Amino acid sequence: EAGVTQFPSHSVIEKGQTVTLRCDPISGHDNLYWYRRVMGKEIKFLLHFVKESKQDESGMPNNRFLAERTGGTYSTLKVQPAELEDSGVYFCASSQGYEAFFGQGTRLTVV
Amino acid sequence: QKEVEQNSGPLSVPEGAIASLNCTYSDRVSQSFFWYRQYSGKSPELIMSIYSNGDKEDGRFTAQLNKASQYVSLLIRDSQPSDSATYLCAVIRYSGGGADGLTFGKGTHLIIQP
């Protein structure tokens, strides 16, 4: 069974540019989560989809971040325009029950 | 405010000994608790989940939960060098509409000395 897949694995962009991260969850998992880890800090929750609906987006830092989940399958997280403080590792996770499985993450560097 | 606290370490344990990792949480309504292992540059890997007070054993791993004291621990028996990693404690709180996202601690860096 394929795990959670994220791409790109790395992205380096300039401040002010736009970046879109993609996550493909484990097939059949209704729950999809986005998390972020900035250097020296703990992994922080961003938002939670149940199928195609946003269940909880209380962790989204500001309106420069937009997440979508098309047809309850893959999800994208767009940052527009990117700022320096957006640098970090963005993880996606999926679950069917309470146990969540993580992707490899996308390391985003904004310069 | 949800908060999960762990000693960041490093925690150094000789090979073959028992490694003991601890975690406390502040939200009394928390109901589900998880331990993830993360190797450097890799994704968090779920190794244990525990939902009720007491001990839960899986191979060399034992998770312990005490809701009254708001702490959860992970014991690793017969520690191996391959157990060297960062161990993340995570807590989930149900909102009634399903499982909320996880709140993580900063992690404990474990080093198993050969």
Cβ–Cβ under 8 Å, residues B88 and B35? yes
pLDDT score recorded for residue B97: 56
The four Cα atoms A41, B25, B38, B56 give a dihedral, to 10 degrees, of 180
Q: What percent of chain B has pLDDT over 90?
A: 82
Residues A18-62: tens digit of each pLDDT: 999 999 999 999 999 999 999 989 999 999 999 999 999 999 999
A72 burial via Cβ count (<10 Å: 0-12, 13-18, 19+): middle
Please compute the mean of the pLDDT values over residues B88-95 and round it to a whole number: 82
Checking if the pLDDT of B2 tops 80, the result is no
pLDDT score recorded for residue B94: 62
pLDDT score recorded for residue B95: 58
Q: Do B102 and A47 touch (CB under 8 A)?
A: no
Provide the sign of the torsion angle of the four alpha carbons A24, A30, A36, A37, taken in this order: negative
pLDDT score recorded for residue A22: 98
Q: Do A42 and B43 touch (CB under 8 A)?
A: no
Q: For testing the chain B interface, which of A24, A33, A45 should be mutated: the one with the most B CBs within 10 Å? A: A45
Chain B hits for A44, Cβ within 8 Å = 104
pLDDT band per the 50, 70, 90 thresholds, residue B106: very high
Q: What is the DSSP string of A40-64?
A: TS--EEEEEEETTEEEE-TT--STT
pLDDT score recorded for residue A1: 65
Checking if the pLDDT of B36 tops 80, the result is yes
CA of A59 to nearest chain B CA: how many angstroms apart?
9
Please compute the mean of the pLDDT values over residues A61-69 and round it to a whole number: 96
CA of B95 to nearest chain A CA: how many angstroms apart?
10
More confident residue, A108 or B95: A108
More confident residue, B1 or A111: A111
Arithmetic mean of pLDDT over chain A: 95
Chain A hits for B102, Cβ within 8 Å = 33, 35, 43, 45, 93, 100
| Strand partners of residue B8 | none
pLDDT band per the 50, 70, 90 thresholds, residue B28: confident
Contacts of A54 (CB under 8 A, 6+ apart): A47, A48, A67
pLDDT band per the 50, 70, 90 thresholds, residue A97: confident
